Amino acid sequence: MGLISMGVARAGGVAACLLVVAGCAPSDLSDPVPTTAEAPFVCDGVPLTGLQRLTGIRDLTVEDDTSGPWDEHFTCHVYDGDRLVVWVLYMSTEWLGYGSLEDQITEARTRHGALQIVADAPGAGYVEVRDKEMMARWVCEDNTRTDVTVYATGGADMEEDLARYMVSILPWACGDAEAPPRTVED
């Protein structure tokens, strides 16, 4: 199992992480995904700048199949034209048969190629690379989980960028912070 953190350690090397300070200029798609979420938000709690840098796509949109506020069952589908490129899911796993917190963490950790996300938040998270998608999952101690699934190719550091994106939303995904409201309108 590899390890992803804000000093990134993988199964063979260590890479340094840069702090990204957002300015007033449009997002440079080649910059690393920030670990602190800032407006604009394409859905409640879903920072647009991080998604743009993660996917390498500037003109992302949200369709009508996105559910309302960040709550016990929230989804945000983000598109490039008519192609789904990111899906963000926040849900309560209590009563859904996903097992205990430990079972869910074990399931995520033991998936092929799972890389651990290290963050100062309750619970645990992993990035998993699949054939046509990449997913980050964070399982919280309160029986909620957040999944960010990416269906775009992105950049060379996609695993690290996806881990950084998950870290940026953890204050409301697994913390006491309120999810910032959507600021991007159609």
pLDDT tens across the length of the chain (186 residues): 444 444 333 333 323 222 222 333 456 888 899 999 999 999 999 999 999 999 999 999 997 767 678 887 899 999 999 999 999 999 887 776 667 778 878 777 777 778 899 999 999 999 988 778 899 999 998 888 899 999 987 777 889 999 999 999 999 999 889 999 999 876
Partners of 9 in beta bridges: 14
- What is the per-residue pLDDT for 45? 95
- What is the per-residue pLDDT for 14? 28
Cα distance between residue 5 and residue 131, in whole Å: 23
Architecture of domain 35-173: 3-Layer(aba) Sandwich (3.40)
Helices vs strands, H then E, count in the chain:
3, 12
pTM, two decimal places: 0.82
Parse the chain into domains and list their residue ranges: 35-173
Cβ-contact 135, 22 below 8 angstroms: no
**Surface-to-core class of residue 40, CB atoms within 10 Å of its CB (0-12 exposed, 13-18 middle, 19+ buried):** middle
